[in-house]
Amino acid sequence: MPSSSLLSGAVDVLSAFDADHTEWRLSDLSRQLGVPTSTLHEQLLALCETGLLARVGRGRYRLGWRLLKLSSALYGSLPWYGPAHAAMERVARGTHCLAFLSVLDGGSGRVLCIARSVQGRDGPPVAGELEFELPAHASASGKLLLALAGRPLPVGAAFTAHTVTDGRAWAAQAAVICRDGYAVTVDEWAAGTSGLAVPVRGADGAVLAALGVSLPTPRLRGRDAPLRSLRDAADAVSWELGWRPE
């Protein structure tokens, strides 16, 4: 069985690929990961042999076909993902903000960003837009998913002076989130970055995911428009899945 260090190294390599980095050269990836080229080259060859990576030129690599097969199997088990992903892209185009889908991993309590779209974005990059795991206590999607699941405030770092770390303050915020049906953060993960998030529900009303946007804080003054866009998109998906609000 591979050691945990080998598995961790493979995960680091695969995680370096995203919408902005669909290919990597060995030398560039070595600098990005801080791994010697000789060590990284061995990892890349092993991943190519398994089909998780593919070599596309001299010293260049991209994700392999086996990952597409695995992702197809995962998406096939999540009938809500297709319509939710389409809704996320509509929100991105309509609001000109970074839009994303996040889920709460029930076992670990982690909030994971499973898809994002920058289509139509007309502003600068915002904090954390390439992260897979979001800070549950400092992101709008995280706070929404925690509140609607009735979970306590997790222990986490205070990223800014606005990050909520007090249990009583969180209880009050969670009550408001449950009442209003959406979450908002203002400079809680990083100064100058704010967020909005609403739930996507299944036929039984269970929360499947959070649909959110991240935007520069000054744009939050006009939050009604992006919030309406989020709600309309999420409600349309939830309705398609069979959810009928009381």
Beta-strand runs (E) in the chain: 23-25, 53-57, 60-63, 98-104, 111-117, 133-134, 183-186, 193-201, 207-216
Q: Find the mean pLDDT for residues 102-127.
A: 79
Measured distance CA(197)–CA(244) in Å, rounded: 20
**Band of residue 238 on the pLDDT scale cut at 50, 70, 90:** very high
Q: Which domains does the chain have, with CATH numbers?
A: 4-67 (1.10.10.10), 76-240 (3.30.450.40)
Length of the chain: 246
Question: Considering the chain, what is the average pLDDT of its residues?
Answer: 90
Whether the per-residue pLDDT at 1 is higher than 50: the answer is: no
Judge whether 229 and 95 are in contact, CB under 8 Å. yes
Q: Find the mean pLDDT for residues 215-244.
A: 93
Q: For 78-95, how does the pLDDT look when each residue is reduced to its tens digit (9 = 90+)?
A: 999 999 999 999 999 999
pTM for the model stands at: 0.81
**Band of residue 55 on the pLDDT scale cut at 50, 70, 90:** very high
